[in-house]
Amino acid sequence: MPRVLLLWFGWLWWAVFPPASVGGSLPPPPPMTFNIGVFTLFRLQSVRLVSHERPARLELGGRSLTLPPHTTYRVVQTAGWLRVWQEAHLLAEARRLSLAAGDVTVEVVGRRTRLQRRFHGRLTITPADNCLRLVVTLPLEAATAAIVSAELPVTVPREAAKALAVVVRSYLLNHLGRHAGDGFDVCDSTHCQLFLGEQWVRQGISGVMRGECSPMVAQAVEETAGELLGASDGCLYPAYFTACCGGHTTTPEVAFGTGFDAAGNNRGIVCRWCHGARFFTWVRRVDRRVLAKALLPATTPTADVQIKVASRSPQGFVRSVSVTAGTRQVVLPNYRFRHLVGQQLGWNLVLSNRYVLEPQGEMLMLRGHGFGHQVGLCLAGAIAQARAGRDYRAILKYYFPTATYRQAKALACTLRLCVHTDAGHSLSQRESIAGAHTAGS
Protein backbone atom coordinates (compact mmCIF):
# COMPACT_ATOMS: atom_id res chain seq x y z
CA MET A 1 0.00 0.00 0.00
CA PRO A 2 1.46 3.45 -0.92
CA ARG A 3 2.95 5.39 2.00
CA VAL A 4 0.52 8.29 1.47
CA LEU A 5 -2.48 6.00 2.03
CA LEU A 6 -0.84 4.34 5.02
CA LEU A 7 -0.24 7.73 6.62
CA TRP A 8 -3.81 8.81 5.94
CA PHE A 9 -5.31 5.64 7.40
CA GLY A 10 -3.04 6.03 10.44
CA TRP A 11 -4.28 9.56 11.09
CA LEU A 12 -7.89 8.50 10.51
CA TRP A 13 -7.59 5.58 12.96
CA TRP A 14 -6.10 7.89 15.60
CA ALA A 15 -8.96 10.38 15.12
CA VAL A 16 -11.77 7.81 15.24
CA PHE A 17 -10.28 5.48 17.87
CA PRO A 18 -8.00 7.66 20.02
CA PRO A 19 -5.88 5.81 22.59
CA ALA A 20 -6.90 5.83 26.24
CA SER A 21 -5.20 8.39 28.42
CA VAL A 22 -4.85 9.32 32.04
CA GLY A 23 -7.16 12.03 33.36
CA GLY A 24 -9.35 12.07 30.27
CA SER A 25 -7.00 14.16 28.10
CA LEU A 26 -5.96 12.87 24.70
CA PRO A 27 -2.30 12.55 23.82
CA PRO A 28 -1.13 14.50 20.78
CA PRO A 29 -0.96 12.70 17.43
CA PRO A 30 2.46 11.39 16.40
CA PRO A 31 4.66 14.02 14.72
CA MET A 32 4.45 14.01 10.94
CA THR A 33 7.77 13.02 9.41
CA PHE A 34 9.19 13.39 5.94
CA ASN A 35 11.68 11.32 3.99
CA ILE A 36 13.98 13.67 2.09
CA GLY A 37 16.44 12.32 -0.45
CA VAL A 38 19.80 14.06 0.00
CA PHE A 39 22.71 14.56 -2.41
CA THR A 40 20.24 13.67 -5.14
CA LEU A 41 22.11 15.63 -7.83
CA PHE A 42 25.01 13.18 -7.53
CA ARG A 43 25.30 9.50 -8.41
CA LEU A 44 27.39 8.68 -5.38
CA GLN A 45 29.50 5.55 -5.18
CA SER A 46 30.80 6.36 -1.72
CA VAL A 47 30.35 8.80 1.17
CA ARG A 48 32.31 9.52 4.32
CA LEU A 49 30.77 9.44 7.78
CA VAL A 50 32.71 11.43 10.39
CA SER A 51 31.66 10.69 13.97
CA HIS A 52 31.43 13.53 16.50
CA GLU A 53 32.13 13.78 20.21
CA ARG A 54 30.22 10.61 21.05
CA PRO A 55 30.19 7.17 19.44
CA ALA A 56 27.86 6.66 16.47
CA ARG A 57 25.82 3.46 16.36
CA LEU A 58 25.18 2.02 12.90
CA GLU A 59 22.27 -0.38 12.39
CA LEU A 60 23.16 -2.86 9.67
CA GLY A 61 20.36 -5.25 8.83
CA GLY A 62 19.76 -6.70 12.29
CA ARG A 63 23.22 -6.10 13.77
CA SER A 64 24.98 -2.97 14.92
CA LEU A 65 28.41 -1.40 14.67
CA THR A 66 29.66 1.33 17.00
CA LEU A 67 31.94 3.99 15.52
CA PRO A 68 34.35 5.60 18.02
CA PRO A 69 34.32 9.40 18.31
CA HIS A 70 36.22 11.63 15.89
CA THR A 71 36.81 8.93 13.30
CA THR A 72 36.21 8.88 9.54
CA TYR A 73 34.58 5.92 7.78
CA ARG A 74 33.71 5.27 4.16
CA VAL A 75 30.48 3.69 2.97
CA VAL A 76 30.93 2.25 -0.52
CA GLN A 77 28.36 0.74 -2.89
CA THR A 78 29.68 -2.45 -4.49
CA ALA A 79 27.48 -4.75 -6.58
CA GLY A 80 24.35 -3.91 -4.62
CA TRP A 81 26.01 -4.15 -1.20
CA LEU A 82 27.11 -1.50 1.27
CA ARG A 83 30.63 -1.87 2.60
CA VAL A 84 31.86 0.10 5.60
CA TRP A 85 35.60 0.81 5.59
CA GLN A 86 38.01 2.43 8.04
CA GLU A 87 41.06 3.21 5.97
CA ALA A 88 42.01 -0.19 4.42
CA HIS A 89 39.98 -2.28 6.89
CA LEU A 90 36.58 -3.67 5.88
CA LEU A 91 34.38 -3.45 8.98
CA ALA A 92 30.98 -4.64 7.74
CA GLU A 93 28.75 -5.45 4.77
CA ALA A 94 24.99 -4.93 4.60
CA ARG A 95 22.09 -4.13 2.30
CA ARG A 96 20.89 -1.27 4.50
CA LEU A 97 22.51 1.11 6.98
CA SER A 98 20.81 3.55 9.34
CA LEU A 99 21.88 5.75 12.24
CA ALA A 100 20.96 8.88 14.17
CA ALA A 101 21.79 11.57 11.62
CA GLY A 102 23.05 13.99 14.26
CA ASP A 103 25.84 11.63 15.30
CA VAL A 104 27.86 12.12 12.12
CA THR A 105 28.85 14.62 9.47
CA VAL A 106 28.28 13.33 5.95
CA GLU A 107 31.07 14.19 3.50
CA VAL A 108 31.03 13.94 -0.28
CA VAL A 109 34.37 14.50 -2.02
CA GLY A 110 34.53 15.18 -5.75
CA ARG A 111 37.28 16.24 -8.11
CA ARG A 112 36.73 19.95 -7.45
CA THR A 113 34.22 20.12 -4.64
CA ARG A 114 33.94 18.87 -1.09
CA LEU A 115 30.57 18.93 0.66
CA GLN A 116 29.93 18.47 4.37
CA ARG A 117 26.44 18.31 5.88
CA ARG A 118 24.93 17.58 9.27
CA PHE A 119 21.33 16.50 9.50
CA HIS A 120 18.58 16.20 12.09
CA GLY A 121 16.55 13.00 12.40
CA ARG A 122 17.60 9.61 11.05
CA LEU A 123 19.85 8.85 8.08
CA THR A 124 19.35 5.72 5.99
CA ILE A 125 21.72 4.55 3.24
CA THR A 126 20.84 1.85 0.72
CA PRO A 127 22.19 0.80 -2.70
CA ALA A 128 20.03 1.89 -5.65
CA ASP A 129 20.70 1.77 -9.42
CA ASN A 130 24.45 1.29 -9.04
CA CYS A 131 24.80 4.20 -6.65
CA LEU A 132 24.01 5.15 -3.06
CA ARG A 133 20.61 6.40 -1.93
CA LEU A 134 20.73 8.62 1.17
CA VAL A 135 17.45 9.49 2.88
CA VAL A 136 16.96 11.70 5.94
CA THR A 137 13.77 11.15 7.96
CA LEU A 138 12.81 14.10 10.15
CA PRO A 139 9.75 15.94 11.51
CA LEU A 140 7.87 18.44 9.37
CA GLU A 141 8.89 21.43 11.48
CA ALA A 142 12.59 20.51 11.41
CA ALA A 143 12.44 20.12 7.63
CA THR A 144 10.71 23.50 7.32
CA ALA A 145 13.38 25.24 9.43
CA ALA A 146 16.24 23.74 7.40
CA ILE A 147 14.68 24.77 4.07
CA VAL A 148 13.91 28.33 5.19
CA SER A 149 17.47 28.66 6.52
CA ALA A 150 18.88 27.53 3.16
CA GLU A 151 16.77 30.09 1.31
CA LEU A 152 17.08 33.27 3.37
CA PRO A 153 20.04 35.26 4.69
CA VAL A 154 20.04 35.63 8.48
CA THR A 155 19.73 39.42 8.09
CA VAL A 156 16.15 39.37 6.75
CA PRO A 157 13.28 40.40 9.06
CA ARG A 158 11.65 37.54 10.95
CA GLU A 159 8.21 38.29 9.46
CA ALA A 160 9.56 37.41 6.00
CA ALA A 161 10.92 34.14 7.38
CA LYS A 162 7.54 33.40 8.97
CA ALA A 163 5.77 33.94 5.66
CA LEU A 164 8.19 31.61 3.90
CA ALA A 165 7.82 28.99 6.64
CA VAL A 166 4.07 28.80 6.03
CA VAL A 167 4.61 28.44 2.27
CA VAL A 168 7.33 25.78 2.66
CA ARG A 169 5.24 23.77 5.11
CA SER A 170 2.27 23.91 2.73
CA TYR A 171 4.44 22.86 -0.20
CA LEU A 172 5.86 19.86 1.65
CA LEU A 173 2.44 18.54 2.62
CA ASN A 174 1.13 19.19 -0.88
CA HIS A 175 3.99 17.18 -2.42
CA LEU A 176 4.20 14.29 0.01
CA GLY A 177 5.27 11.24 -1.99
CA ARG A 178 6.34 13.21 -5.07
CA HIS A 179 9.44 10.98 -5.29
CA ALA A 180 7.76 7.82 -4.02
CA GLY A 181 9.26 5.88 -6.92
CA ASP A 182 12.73 6.90 -5.74
CA GLY A 183 12.19 5.81 -2.15
CA PHE A 184 11.52 9.18 -0.50
CA ASP A 185 8.95 11.99 -0.42
CA VAL A 186 10.82 15.02 -1.79
CA CYS A 187 14.37 15.68 -2.95
CA ASP A 188 16.89 18.19 -1.63
CA SER A 189 17.40 20.07 -4.90
CA THR A 190 15.42 22.95 -6.36
CA HIS A 191 13.28 20.39 -8.19
CA CYS A 192 11.47 20.19 -4.82
CA GLN A 193 13.00 22.22 -1.97
CA LEU A 194 16.58 23.28 -1.28
CA PHE A 195 17.48 21.24 1.80
CA LEU A 196 21.04 21.38 3.10
CA GLY A 197 20.52 20.08 6.63
CA GLU A 198 21.32 21.66 9.98
CA GLN A 199 24.83 22.75 8.99
CA TRP A 200 26.58 22.75 5.64
CA VAL A 201 29.98 23.56 4.14
CA ARG A 202 30.90 23.66 0.45
CA GLN A 203 34.56 23.88 -0.52
CA GLY A 204 35.45 24.45 -4.16
CA ILE A 205 37.61 26.41 -6.56
CA SER A 206 35.60 29.57 -5.77
CA GLY A 207 36.25 29.31 -2.02
CA VAL A 208 34.31 28.11 1.01
CA MET A 209 30.60 28.64 1.64
CA ARG A 210 29.01 27.63 4.90
CA GLY A 211 25.72 27.99 6.70
CA GLU A 212 23.45 26.59 9.38
CA CYS A 213 19.91 26.73 10.68
CA SER A 214 19.72 30.15 12.31
CA PRO A 215 18.05 30.98 15.65
CA MET A 216 15.96 33.62 13.86
CA VAL A 217 14.53 31.02 11.47
CA ALA A 218 13.98 28.55 14.31
CA GLN A 219 11.91 31.19 16.11
CA ALA A 220 9.97 32.03 12.92
CA VAL A 221 9.11 28.36 12.37
CA GLU A 222 8.12 27.91 16.01
CA GLU A 223 5.84 30.97 15.91
CA THR A 224 4.00 29.58 12.87
CA ALA A 225 4.16 25.91 13.88
CA GLY A 226 1.68 23.79 11.94
CA GLU A 227 0.29 26.74 10.02
CA LEU A 228 -0.73 26.03 6.41
CA LEU A 229 -2.36 27.77 3.48
CA GLY A 230 -5.77 26.34 2.60
CA ALA A 231 -7.77 26.60 -0.62
CA SER A 232 -11.44 27.45 -0.98
CA ASP A 233 -12.34 23.82 -1.73
CA GLY A 234 -11.06 22.72 1.68
CA CYS A 235 -7.79 21.33 0.34
CA LEU A 236 -4.25 22.58 0.72
CA TYR A 237 -3.30 25.62 -1.34
CA PRO A 238 -0.70 24.82 -4.03
CA ALA A 239 1.90 27.15 -2.51
CA TYR A 240 5.13 28.05 -4.32
CA PHE A 241 7.76 30.74 -3.91
CA THR A 242 10.25 32.43 -6.20
CA ALA A 243 13.33 34.59 -5.64
CA CYS A 244 11.98 37.70 -7.41
CA CYS A 245 8.77 37.97 -9.43
CA GLY A 246 9.93 41.03 -11.39
CA GLY A 247 6.77 43.00 -10.69
CA HIS A 248 4.17 40.35 -11.54
CA THR A 249 3.58 36.75 -10.50
CA THR A 250 2.14 34.08 -12.77
CA THR A 251 0.35 30.75 -12.36
CA PRO A 252 1.61 27.12 -12.32
CA GLU A 253 -0.15 26.51 -15.63
CA VAL A 254 1.83 29.27 -17.34
CA ALA A 255 5.15 28.55 -15.64
CA PHE A 256 5.13 24.75 -15.62
CA GLY A 257 2.48 23.76 -18.13
CA THR A 258 0.71 21.83 -15.39
CA GLY A 259 -0.94 22.25 -12.02
CA PHE A 260 -3.86 24.50 -11.21
CA ASP A 261 -4.68 27.75 -9.48
CA ALA A 262 -6.76 27.18 -6.36
CA ALA A 263 -7.89 30.80 -6.47
CA GLY A 264 -9.21 30.56 -10.00
CA ASN A 265 -6.85 33.44 -10.78
CA ASN A 266 -5.29 33.13 -14.23
CA ARG A 267 -3.54 36.49 -14.11
CA GLY A 268 -1.17 36.36 -11.17
CA ILE A 269 -0.55 39.24 -8.77
CA VAL A 270 0.94 42.68 -9.50
CA CYS A 271 3.84 43.16 -7.07
CA ARG A 272 5.08 46.66 -6.29
CA TRP A 273 7.56 45.55 -3.64
CA CYS A 274 10.46 43.96 -5.53
CA HIS A 275 11.37 46.89 -7.82
CA GLY A 276 14.63 47.47 -5.96
CA ALA A 277 15.75 43.83 -6.15
CA ARG A 278 18.91 42.92 -8.00
CA PHE A 279 17.11 40.79 -10.58
CA PHE A 280 14.01 42.91 -11.04
CA THR A 281 15.44 43.35 -14.56
CA TRP A 282 18.23 41.43 -16.23
CA VAL A 283 20.09 41.20 -19.55
CA ARG A 284 21.97 38.26 -21.08
CA ARG A 285 23.68 37.65 -24.45
CA VAL A 286 24.18 34.37 -26.30
CA ASP A 287 25.37 33.32 -29.75
CA ARG A 288 22.28 32.40 -31.77
CA ARG A 289 23.94 29.34 -33.34
CA VAL A 290 25.16 28.06 -29.98
CA LEU A 291 21.64 28.40 -28.61
CA ALA A 292 20.10 26.73 -31.67
CA LYS A 293 22.59 23.86 -31.42
CA ALA A 294 21.56 23.32 -27.78
CA LEU A 295 17.91 23.12 -28.80
CA LEU A 296 18.32 21.35 -32.18
CA PRO A 297 21.51 19.24 -31.98
CA ALA A 298 21.52 18.57 -35.76
CA THR A 299 21.89 22.28 -36.59
CA THR A 300 24.67 22.86 -39.16
CA PRO A 301 27.12 25.80 -39.00
CA THR A 302 25.70 27.31 -42.23
CA ALA A 303 22.00 27.00 -41.36
CA ASP A 304 19.91 30.16 -41.18
CA VAL A 305 18.91 30.44 -37.50
CA GLN A 306 15.90 32.27 -36.10
CA ILE A 307 14.78 32.11 -32.47
CA LYS A 308 11.75 34.08 -31.36
CA VAL A 309 8.90 34.10 -28.86
CA ALA A 310 5.94 32.24 -30.37
CA SER A 311 3.26 33.05 -27.78
CA ARG A 312 2.73 34.92 -24.52
CA SER A 313 0.21 35.14 -21.74
CA PRO A 314 -1.82 38.38 -21.51
CA GLN A 315 0.55 39.51 -18.74
CA GLY A 316 3.62 39.09 -20.98
CA PHE A 317 4.93 35.75 -19.73
CA VAL A 318 6.44 33.59 -22.46
CA ARG A 319 4.38 30.50 -23.24
CA SER A 320 6.35 29.09 -26.17
CA VAL A 321 9.49 29.72 -28.21
CA SER A 322 9.98 29.02 -31.93
CA VAL A 323 13.38 27.75 -33.10
CA THR A 324 14.18 27.58 -36.83
CA ALA A 325 17.47 26.24 -38.20
CA GLY A 326 17.47 25.84 -41.99
CA THR A 327 14.47 23.69 -42.90
CA ARG A 328 13.96 22.44 -39.36
CA GLN A 329 11.57 24.17 -37.00
CA VAL A 330 10.31 23.35 -33.54
CA VAL A 331 8.02 25.21 -31.15
CA LEU A 332 8.91 24.51 -27.54
CA PRO A 333 6.81 25.23 -24.44
CA ASN A 334 8.69 27.84 -22.46
CA TYR A 335 9.27 25.54 -19.47
CA ARG A 336 10.88 23.04 -21.86
CA PHE A 337 12.92 25.79 -23.53
CA ARG A 338 14.26 26.99 -20.16
CA HIS A 339 15.01 23.45 -19.04
CA LEU A 340 16.96 22.56 -22.19
CA VAL A 341 18.90 25.83 -22.11
CA GLY A 342 19.73 25.29 -18.45
CA GLN A 343 20.94 21.74 -19.03
CA GLN A 344 23.05 22.61 -22.08
CA LEU A 345 24.25 26.17 -21.48
CA GLY A 346 23.78 26.78 -17.76
CA TRP A 347 20.99 28.04 -15.53
CA ASN A 348 22.25 31.63 -15.60
CA LEU A 349 21.06 32.44 -19.12
CA VAL A 350 17.23 32.51 -19.04
CA LEU A 351 16.50 33.69 -15.52
CA SER A 352 12.71 33.91 -15.59
CA ASN A 353 9.55 33.41 -17.65
CA ARG A 354 9.06 37.05 -18.69
CA TYR A 355 11.59 38.21 -21.27
CA VAL A 356 12.06 39.42 -24.85
CA LEU A 357 14.49 38.11 -27.50
CA GLU A 358 16.31 40.75 -29.59
CA PRO A 359 18.56 39.65 -32.52
CA GLN A 360 21.81 41.63 -32.76
CA GLY A 361 23.86 40.24 -35.62
CA GLU A 362 24.98 36.75 -34.68
CA MET A 363 24.08 37.36 -31.05
CA LEU A 364 20.74 37.20 -29.30
CA MET A 365 19.94 39.59 -26.47
CA LEU A 366 17.61 38.42 -23.70
CA ARG A 367 16.01 41.17 -21.61
CA GLY A 368 13.80 40.05 -18.77
CA HIS A 369 12.17 40.68 -15.42
CA GLY A 370 12.49 38.58 -12.28
CA PHE A 371 14.46 35.57 -11.12
CA GLY A 372 12.88 32.13 -10.99
CA HIS A 373 9.55 30.73 -12.11
CA GLN A 374 7.64 33.77 -10.73
CA VAL A 375 4.86 31.71 -9.11
CA GLY A 376 3.53 32.38 -5.61
CA LEU A 377 5.40 34.24 -2.87
CA CYS A 378 8.01 36.69 -4.15
CA LEU A 379 10.87 36.48 -1.65
CA ALA A 380 12.34 39.85 -2.63
CA GLY A 381 8.91 41.42 -2.22
CA ALA A 382 8.25 39.62 1.06
CA ILE A 383 11.52 40.90 2.51
CA ALA A 384 10.74 44.45 1.38
CA GLN A 385 7.27 44.25 2.93
CA ALA A 386 8.67 42.94 6.21
CA ARG A 387 11.18 45.78 6.30
CA ALA A 388 8.29 48.20 5.81
CA GLY A 389 6.64 46.82 8.95
CA ARG A 390 4.07 44.43 7.45
CA ASP A 391 3.55 41.15 9.33
CA TYR A 392 3.67 37.70 7.79
CA ARG A 393 -0.12 37.36 7.51
CA ALA A 394 -0.32 40.60 5.51
CA ILE A 395 2.52 39.41 3.28
CA LEU A 396 0.81 36.08 2.61
CA LYS A 397 -2.50 37.82 1.94
CA TYR A 398 -0.80 39.99 -0.66
CA TYR A 399 0.48 37.04 -2.70
CA PHE A 400 -2.30 34.52 -1.89
CA PRO A 401 -5.40 36.75 -1.56
CA THR A 402 -7.95 33.91 -1.49
CA ALA A 403 -6.02 31.50 0.74
CA THR A 404 -7.17 30.61 4.25
CA TYR A 405 -5.07 29.66 7.25
CA ARG A 406 -5.23 26.17 8.72
CA GLN A 407 -3.40 24.02 11.20
CA ALA A 408 -1.79 20.69 10.30
CA LYS A 409 -3.60 19.01 13.24
CA ALA A 410 -6.98 20.13 11.94
CA LEU A 411 -6.21 18.73 8.51
CA ALA A 412 -4.66 15.50 9.77
CA CYS A 413 -7.61 13.31 8.81
CA THR A 414 -8.45 14.92 5.46
CA LEU A 415 -5.44 16.42 3.77
CA ARG A 416 -4.34 13.12 2.21
CA LEU A 417 -7.59 12.92 0.24
CA CYS A 418 -7.30 16.27 -1.47
CA VAL A 419 -3.58 16.82 -1.98
CA HIS A 420 -2.93 18.53 -5.32
CA THR A 421 0.38 17.63 -6.88
CA ASP A 422 2.20 17.79 -10.17
CA ALA A 423 4.31 14.74 -9.35
CA GLY A 424 6.48 13.66 -12.21
CA HIS A 425 6.99 17.14 -13.63
CA SER A 426 10.71 17.51 -14.20
CA LEU A 427 11.04 21.29 -14.21
CA SER A 428 12.51 23.06 -11.20
CA GLN A 429 9.54 24.66 -9.42
CA ARG A 430 11.28 27.19 -7.24
CA GLU A 431 14.60 28.94 -7.29
CA SER A 432 16.80 29.78 -4.35
CA ILE A 433 17.18 33.38 -3.23
CA ALA A 434 20.66 32.32 -2.12
CA GLY A 435 21.31 31.58 -5.80
CA ALA A 436 20.02 35.05 -6.67
CA HIS A 437 22.88 36.57 -4.68
CA THR A 438 25.46 34.83 -6.89
CA ALA A 439 23.81 34.39 -10.27
CA GLY A 440 25.50 36.49 -12.90
CA SER A 441 28.50 37.30 -10.72
Q: Do residue 96 and residue 45 come from a single domain?
A: yes
Flag the least confident range among 47-51, 89-93, 388-392, 408-412.
408-412
Q: Do residue 356 and residue 387 come from a single domain?
A: no
Judged by DSSP in three states, 380 sits in: helix
First-to-last alpha carbon distance for the chain, in angstroms, is 48
User: What tens digit of pLDDT does each residue of 88-145 get?
Assistant: 999 999 999 999 999 999 999 988 889 999 999 999 999 998 899 999 999 999 999 9
Q: Is residue 333 part of a domain?
A: yes
Q: Which sign does the torsion angle of CA 348, 350, 355, 356 carry? A: positive
Half-sphere exposure of 278 (CA within 13 A, CB side): 13
User: What tens digit of pLDDT does each residue of 199-222 get?
Assistant: 999 998 888 999 999 999 999 999
Please provide the DSSP assignment of 64-80 as one string. EEEEPTT-EEEEEEETT
Q: Do residue 253 and residue 345 come from a single domain?
A: no
User: What tens digit of pLDDT does each residue of 288-311 get?
Assistant: 999 999 998 877 777 788 999 999
Q: Which of 369, 386, 414 is the C-terminal boundary of a domain?
A: 369
Q: Do residue 169 and residue 48 come from a single domain?
A: no
pLDDT higher than threshold 90 for residue 83: yes
pLDDT higher than threshold 90 for residue 376: yes
Alpha-carbon distances, residue 114 vs 117, 238, 439 (angstroms):
10, 35, 21
Domain that holds residue 294: 281-369
Prediction pTM value: 0.85
pLDDT number for residue 18: 40
Q: Do residue 336 and residue 309 come from a single domain?
A: yes
Mapping DSSP onto H, E and C, the string for 9-35 reads HHHHHHHHCCCCCHHHCCCCCCCCEEE
Q: Is residue 336 part of a domain?
A: yes
Q: Is residue 204 part of a domain?
A: no
Q: Is residue 244 part of a domain?
A: yes
Q: Is residue 205 part of a domain?
A: no
Calpha distance 315→266 (Å, rounded):
10
User: What tens digit of pLDDT does each residue of 151-195 get?
Assistant: 999 999 999 999 999 999 999 999 989 999 999 999 999 889 999
Half-sphere exposure of 79 (CA within 13 A, CB side): 1
Mean local confidence (pLDDT), 400-419: 65
Q: Is residue 147 part of a domain?
A: no
Evaluate whether 340 touches 295 at the Cβ level (below 8 Å): yes
Calpha distance 392→10 (Å, rounded):
32
Q: Do residue 271 and residue 378 come from a single domain?
A: yes
pLDDT higher than threshold 90 for residue 320: yes
Q: Is residue 402 part of a domain?
A: yes
Q: Is residue 151 part of a domain?
A: no
Q: What percent of the chain has pLDDT over 90?
A: 70
Q: Do residue 237 and residue 381 come from a single domain?
A: yes
Q: Do residue 266 and residue 379 come from a single domain?
A: yes
* Overall domain count for the chain: 3
